[in-house]
Structure 1
């Protein structure tokens, strides 16, 4: 009788800390590879409402040349507010739209908007490099998270742009603080905000490996005294799943077995 081939992540318990409404696709990918994927959200996304700053920006969209999105959340909340004002994508026809990452580009596509400036690397530094060197007097609208790095707006202002940074959502810690099962093999972090609201507030077993979506998230993990064992080469959810698969194939390592090897 033929034995069923062992799946690449079979026997692993992997905790996904993304907000619950954004975790389904990653969980499905992990389960397809044989893992037991557990959703333990570190945060939930809360739109900032009322938002008079955003109201003012939307009343003068014709004054901007660039519209910049750094996350799917920013896209969804921006267009929801635009719709509430009885407007749609046609109000953005004159704008050059820039974004970070395929998930953000896809969220824009669902709104009927093409991301015209999209770097191959999914970090603020790469997006900044994609802009013209001289932006003197040009206005940029950047709707984003309340908690975010200043690399992009500072860099654009350094090139002469007038940048309006509008916080449109915030990451709120889950209450009560979640618990990580002791037999967890890997905990996944997909953003700096998930790290900030998880490590130090939630006990992660020392033997548990940590997987992160990219260098910014890795830095947040290390800042808190833990090691990022697995770092995605491509900074996407699929890239992170692939990195976990590659790590396990190379090491066979899991937390729950003696010697850290799969049985």
Structure 2
């Protein structure tokens, strides 16, 4: 089964409305349209509506960086997945910064995945171990637990619309990064767990991407790893030229 390569740029808490609009204009001018590569950017929540009117979805799609799991109600300051439908195609859920800075629980993340699917958005479920967990040799157990908890009550049909993003916490913004050989082992763990939960066909169909200090220099090495379907890029995605170069590397001649 052929899975389209997915390149996601997570802008985090960067780029004002004006800066985001200029960036998107530049990106759409530079990006070639590739049938085998899907490009997604995740701006701040405040810019999504404006950018959704500017964006050309044949070239690039939008993702939200977060959502709330209730569709409506007295939850001051939250943005529900139901309000994102029609503006974005994807929503990032369970990013390590949400887990470890904002203390989101497995229950929060599970409900958010369900809310995204309920509102016809594709969740990008982030999983990954901390430096301490890695040192203790607990990577496999941590990833298995995060997958089981994050995908609870999801059907085999729904898993086709989920993206799994492996982003080791110890590699994010640290300058450290997973070696391609180590990444291959992690991909095996992820697909084995998906097989256990949803069956072999689902495990072969689900897209798994890597995030953690990805740059123009190391992107090709990751994209060459068998079974990896793309990249979740942080800092390098804030530079339209660098991001475009990474997208070009993802195209298979």
How does the TM-score come out when normalised to structure 1?
0.27
Instruction: Select the structure of larger CA radius of gyration.
Output: 1
Decide which structure has greater helix share: 2
